[in-house]
């Protein structure tokens, strides 16, 4: 599976009122492994950044003045992301800007160029309700160092988000990956991926005795046989 982790920096917060993209950073993963085939451009937005945005990304008008315009990198960008699953933190923001830039060039909306779009902010809110779920907060939560992140940068943030996403979805590794076509009925296109050995620890005699004593106490409380004992007996009969 080809996945692209994507981030942008912009001149401000509102694409519809004239703010533009000034940086695009993308990190490629194939079968959950970073490939090093990244995509990164600073872009001349043909306007100044808002003071608040400039304080976040630090990319001055002077620095961006000799960089390519979005129209000059649009073909390469669309080819790079084409058909891939896209991972973005707070996806509506970045997609809104990309849609406006593509619309300026008479191109289809961003979603029409790519596969599924995964919003890690939505996933983080589902996994950690009521907690801060900014990229910095998620880095802290998953033990990912972001000490070198003094200003926001699209490529750096994409690299951090890739690590966050892998940590968030660590339990979703597949035992096999289909590398062939649908015609590989004999299984020739299936590569088995080795995973870490699963350790099974048997209970000690002391632990078994303590467990039985606990069940005896439950039996006394219900004045009969507790559900735990019933379930254990049924399981043993089934085996």
Residues 226 and 162: their CA atoms lie apart, in Å, by 48
In angstroms, the CA 102 to CA 207 distance is 64
Distances (CA, A) of 237 to 229, 230, 231: 12, 11, 10
Measure the CA–CA gap between 143 and 183, rounded to whole angstroms. 43
As a whole number of angstroms, the distance between CA 126 and CA 146 comes to 23
What residues pair up with 25 in beta bridges, in sequence order?
A: 7, 40
Told to judge if 89 belongs to the known catalytic residues of this protein, a careful annotator would answer no
Which residue from 14, 17, 19 is spatially nearest to 43, judged by alpha carbons? 19
Give CA 140 to chain center in angstroms. 15
Cβ(135)–Cβ(89) below 8 Å: yes
Q: For residue 201, list its beta bridge partners.
A: none
How many angstroms separate the first and last alpha carbons of the chain?
A: 39
For 177, the token pair is 């990956």
- Residue from 89, 128, 152, 211 carrying the catalytic annotation: 152
Angstrom distance (rounded) from CA 209 to CA 203: 10
Q: Which two tokens stand for residue 78?
A: 């669309």
Catalytic residue list: 152
């Amino acid at each position: 599976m080809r996945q692209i982790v994507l981030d942008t920096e912009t001149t401000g917060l509102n694409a519809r009122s004239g703010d533009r993209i000034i940086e695009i950073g993308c990190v490629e993963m194939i079968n959950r492994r970073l490939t090093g085939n990244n995509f990164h451009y600073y872009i001349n937005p043909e306007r100044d950044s808002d003071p608040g945005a400039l304080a976040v990304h630090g990319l001055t008008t002077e620095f961006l003045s000799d960089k390519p315009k979005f129209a000059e990198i649009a073909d390469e960008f669309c080819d790079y992301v084409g058909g891939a699953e896209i991972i973005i933190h707070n996806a509506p923001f970045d997609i809104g800007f990309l849609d406006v830039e593509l619309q300026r060039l008479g191109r289809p909306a961003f979603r029409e160029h790519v596969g599924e779009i995964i919003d890690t902010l939505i996933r983080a809110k589902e996994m950690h309700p009521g907690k801060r779920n900014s990229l910095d907060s998620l880095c802290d939560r998953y033990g990912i160092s972001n000490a070198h992140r003094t200003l926001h940068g699209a490529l750096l943030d994409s690299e951090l988000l890739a690590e966050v996403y892998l940590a968030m979805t660590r339990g979703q590794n597949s035992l096999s990956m289909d590398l062939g076509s649908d015609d590989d009925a004999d299984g020739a296109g299936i590569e088995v991926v080795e995973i870490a050995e699963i350790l099974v620890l048997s209970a000690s005699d002391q632990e078994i005795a303590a467990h039985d004593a606990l069940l005896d106490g439950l039996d006394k409380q219900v004045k009969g046989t507790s559900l735990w004992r019933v379930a254990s007996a049924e399981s043993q009969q089934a085996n």
